Structure 1
Amino acid sequence: MSARSDRITEAYLAGCEAPDGPLRHARASLELSETKRLSWPRLLPRPIFVDEAEYRAFGRDLVTIYELVTGLPQRMYGGDFDRFRTALGIDDRHAALMCRLLGEGPPPLYGRADVYFDGSAFKLLEYNIGSALGGLDMVGTLPKAYLKVPSVAEFAAEHGLGFLDMGSDLAEALRGAGKTIGAGEPVVAILEGPGGMARYGHQRRAIAELLAENEIDCLVGEIGDLKFRHGKPHLHGTGVDVVLRYYGLEEMLEQPDCDELLEPVFRAHEAGQVVVWTPTNVFSNKGTLAMLSEFAELFTVDERAVIERVLPWCRMLGRPGAGPDTRRIEDCVARKDQLVFKPAGLYGGQGVVIGQEVDAATWRETLEAGSRAGSLVQEIVPPNVETVIDPETGERSEWYALWAAFMTPSGLSGGGIRAIPPGGTTVITMINNANVRNTCLFTC
């Protein structure tokens, strides 16, 4: 991190030292709606600071990585999408649904990059290219809430702090999507899968609040709540122009009526009666990053420089139907403490195994099983730590920080942090780790 951001961090921590220091208790002073409090139940006691020039430069690299990933079918397979998805281990059933709305060109730039700062540079761990992005409701909204706290507002003014406003960038992206079908001010529907609102409803409603703050008319529901009138989807009686898709492919495939739920939405998109944002998540497959890493010679000098700058070494371990790659498995066994194993098509930390956190037998079993199921190995990137002062006790503690960089068609649009205290697993996911805390970023 830059010397400037380090100085600002130390200044903020100094303001948290005194038991009655207003910065120390800023989190407790946040004015948040009940919806947002339910969406962000576990907040780190302070925001994180990042050098804006450094962060935006990394954002430009993320745009390049997106362009390279979405260009892989052409670059590596002569435009043969079937060969591309087969190399990633995507079967016919998944591919048919993933690619139904893909169209001729790449999907719009929209996603979340999960990133570590290794002490000298940002390193890309995963690139979630697609619409079902966790955490975006916090980006932009939480900094605004912090700036309403007088002590934080004074600190921000003194140190020239700002933030990237994901809400306004997303609103503009959705307006642009609506214009492609002639919608002036679009009605946006945030759609979960069947039963999804029971588990994630507070988070989806928080996104709706974010969009409403940016003057977007937004509805929330499940895909099964849609009614179709002359082919156009309606939710709660209102016609929908843009669908912000939060129904995941795997959860839809578990439904006996999967095709009956998806087909009317597909047809409405194809007929120009609604825009599904975004139409596919095929490029979120983690194997795409392994392809960039392994076949860097296919790219230009400038493109290779970006790959080498931001992407850790990673390789595909295998794909469904293929036999074990014995040589690669043995290499990974020898490098156990340097590698992390990831299933190529899962998300939310599912199936991730850190080599140094398991014994040798478990690591070998994981690699051998993964080589048949579509997976990759990636060089471990050591995360940076962020110091936090407990508002109640005044004790200092260090937390591993996983950065989230959110991207829209305008480029880098915001960021957030998920953090965890050292001592347990370093897989930082909100799904199954109660120790994880969230916070926002301020730029300096």
Structure 2
Amino acid sequence: MDSSVTSRYVTESANPDGGLRTLTTRAEIPAVYGTSYGHLLLPRPVFVSEQEIGAFADDLAAIFRVLVSLPGRCFGGDLHRYGAAIGLPPELIEVMTEGATGDPLLYARADAFHDGARFRLLELNVGSELGGVDIAQLNRAFLDVPAFRAFAEANGLDHTDTMAHLVAGLRGAAGGVADADPVHPVVALIEGPGALGDHDGVFLSIQEDMRGHGIELLLGEIQELAEGADGKLALHGRPVDVVLRYFAAGQIAGDPVARAALTRLNRAHAAGRTALFTPLEGALFTSKAALGLLHRPEVRATLTEAEQDLVDRVLPHTWVLSGESGGGDSDSDSSGDTGDASYAEALAHARAHRTSLVLKPGIGYSADGVVIGRDVTEEQWQEALERTAVRDYVAQELVVPALEQVVDPQSGRTEGWVANWGVFVTPQGYGGAFCRALRPQDGAVITYANPGTRGTCVFTHPAARPEESRI
């Protein structure tokens, strides 16, 4: 990574009177965003060249296209067989495949490390239930601080507004809905049953940011959606043009009321009465085990040389650990149902290479269930591997990230932080980014459940400083 902008920022932050060291306290952060995140801010933003992160977003889009092609390439087009191969239980597959078209929308956020040479993809979260879409509020607040604005102008800094990408997607979805205003559609953010209050600060911040983009956002839960005589759905009496989905398949499966509500929503979507952004079909490709399939020999054999190079460049080697995983289409010459053999081989590799691997649930949030091999004993590692017999897991090659240098506002000391990059990709390409960061001494798993985790926004810069590019 080009660290010249970061170096200049750190150097200028060493001056206690320059304004950069105390950026987060000088910035006037929007009220709702500040309530949710103001106490969790990293002392500075992070920087990356626009060319590098744009190229990474292009790679993410290409990875997405490969993932979406796997059911047709390797499983005879059968989404249920594909779902079983990545360890999804039948009840989740049923929910995810209802109304599936085989062509899910590209709207995703990667979690990635930068190892000092390039970005490495840890997981790809496909679908609209993504955190961080309101991060540009922080970019704008920082740019309103004179000292930072001067630094940004001197270094050609820019940022991409993720909310603008989301709003464009919502307006595009509204364009196919009868009687909807395509510029000012009625949009409802819908959570699963009983879950809206669990993240109310996050949703209120999204609502605040979206209002600034000209869209009123309603908040509700899926069982509250009512169907009118014309097939259009309403929330609390308000007809809804577009549902912004924040519920997950696991919140629907096993709940008859929620399941019936999803069927009503899918029916309204198919009829063009209320659009669903985005259908649950995308969840079939968000499992970490889906990425693991790309390293299975029988699946890799179906990839072109360019696709194999893409996987090798972007994705750390990932092994699927699930005794139920099938290898592919038994009718294809290039793949066969080798799940048991592949599972045994992957498990044997994981048992022998603890210190170079990370164990992760195939489906999971906030680093739940993640075990970093080098941070546990051999006995603890073997116990963790035993859980793969009853729950889908992957073992992934450990990526050692480069540290982000940050000046502590109080002490003036420069410390290294590990940054987990959240990089959005949409049909328009790179859709913005944010970072969550943690000092190595505060742990190894970067999640807000860890009290040492801090978050910040991302600014891009040209490959060379503006004045250097004219030489």
Please tell me the residue identity of whatever aligns with 1:433: N
Q: Matches of 1:82 and 1:229 in 2, distance apart?
A: 32
What is aligned with 1:309?
Answer: 313
| Deviation string, structure 1 residues 12-44 (Cα, Å, up to 9, x no partner) | 112211222211111112222221112314010
- 2:374 is the counterpart of 1:356: yes
Aligned to 1:96: 94
What do the CA deviations read for 1:198-234 (whole angstroms, capped 9, x no partner)? 2211111211222222222321222233333223222
Once the two structures are overlaid, the 10-residue window that deviates more, 27-36 or 121-130, is 27-36
* Pairs within 5 Å for 1:127-206: 127-138=124-135, 140-182=136-178, 183=180, 184-185=182-183, 186-206=185-205
Query: Hey, what's the Cα distance between the residues in 1 that align with 2:340 and 2:307?
Result: 32
Counterpart mapping for 1:27-66 below 5 A = 27-41=24-38, 42-66=40-64
User: 1:122 — aligned with what?
Assistant: 119
Corresponding residue SS for 1:71: helix
Alpha-carbon shift at residue 254 of structure 1 (Å):
6.2
Give the structure 2 partner of residue 438 of structure 1: 455
Report the Cα distance in structure 1 between the residues aligned to 2:344 and 2:227, rounded to whole angstroms: 52
For 2:288, the aligned partner's letter is K
Residue of structure 2 in register with 1:248 after alignment: 248
- Residue of structure 1 equivalent to 2:221: 222
Distance (Å, rounded) in 2 between the aligned partners of 1:176 and 1:284: 23
CA, structure 1 residues 210+54, in 2 after alignment: closer, same or farther (shift >3 Å)? same
TM-score of the two chains, using structure 1 as the length reference: 0.94
**Partner residue, 1:263:** 263
**Alpha-carbon displacement from aligned partner over 1:255-288 (angstroms, at most 9, x marks no partner):** 4633244332222223221111110112111111
Q: 5+ unaligned residues in a row in structure 1: which ranges?
A: none
Residue 194 of structure 1 aligns with an amino acid whose one-letter code is P
Deviations 1:235-262 (A, max 9, x none): 2432111111111222334646332443
Distance, in Å, in 2 between the alignment partners of 1:39 and 1:253 is: 30
How many Å apart are 1:442 and its aligned residue? 0.5
Q: What letter is aligned with 1:439?
A: T
Question: What pairs with 1:273-284 in structure 2 (closer than 5 Å)?
Answer: 273-280=273-280, 281-284=283-286
- 1:87 and 2:85 are equivalent in the alignment: yes
Correspondence for 1:343 among 361, 377, 382? 361
Range 127-136 or range 364-373, more displaced: 364-373
Task: Select between 249-258 and 108-117 the one with higher mean Cα deviation.
Answer: 249-258
- Displacement, 1:327? 3.9
Give the AA of the match of 2:357: L
* Aligned residue type for 1:222: E
Give the match's secondary structure for 1:74: helix
Give, as a single letter, the amino acid of the residue that structure 2 aligns with 1:317: L
The 1:220/1:333 distance shift into structure 2, 3 A limit, reads same
**Are the equivalent residues in 1 in contact too, given 2:86–2:293 (CA < 8 A)?**
no
1:106 aligns with 2:119: no
Q: CA RMSD in A?
A: 1.8
Aligned to 2:464: none
Equivalent-residue separation in structure 1 for 2:371 and 2:67 (angstroms) = 24
Q: CA deviation at 1:152?
A: 0.8
SS in 2 for 1:433: coil
Provide the identity percentage.
Answer: 37
1:299-318 deviation digits (Å, cap 9, x = unpaired): 11111111111011111111
User: Quick check: 2:223–2:257 contact (8 Å CA) kept in 1?
Assistant: no
Determine which of 352, 372, 386 is the counterpart of 1:334.
352
SS in 2 for 1:257: helix
Q: Work out the CA distance in 2 between the residues paired with 1:283 and 1:84.
A: 10
Task: Name the aligned partner's letter for residue 34 of structure 1.
Answer: A
Q: Which of 281, 291, 294 is matched with 1:292 structurally? A: 294
Whole-Å separation in 2 of the counterparts to 1:33 and 1:93: 41
SS at match of 2:412: coil
Letter in 1 for 2:347: I
Match in the other structure for 2:329? none
Q: Which residue of 13, 17, 31 maps to 1:16?
A: 13
| Offset of residue 433 of structure 1 | 1.3
Residues in 1 aligned to 2:284 and 2:270: alpha-carbon distance in whole angstroms = 18
Counterpart amino acid of residue 229 in structure 1? G
Q: Which moved more, 1:367-376 or 1:251-260?
A: 251-260
Q: Look up the match of 1:71.
A: 69
Do the aligned residues in 2 keep the contact of 1:383 with 1:400 (CA within 8 Å)? yes
- Structure 1 residues 141, 337: closer, same or farther in 2, change over 3 A? same
Flag as ranges the 4+ runs of structure 1 deviating above 6 A. 321-324
For the Cα contact (< 8 Å) 2:433–2:457, is it kept in 1?
yes
Query: Distance in 2 between the 1:144 and 1:306 partners?
Result: 34
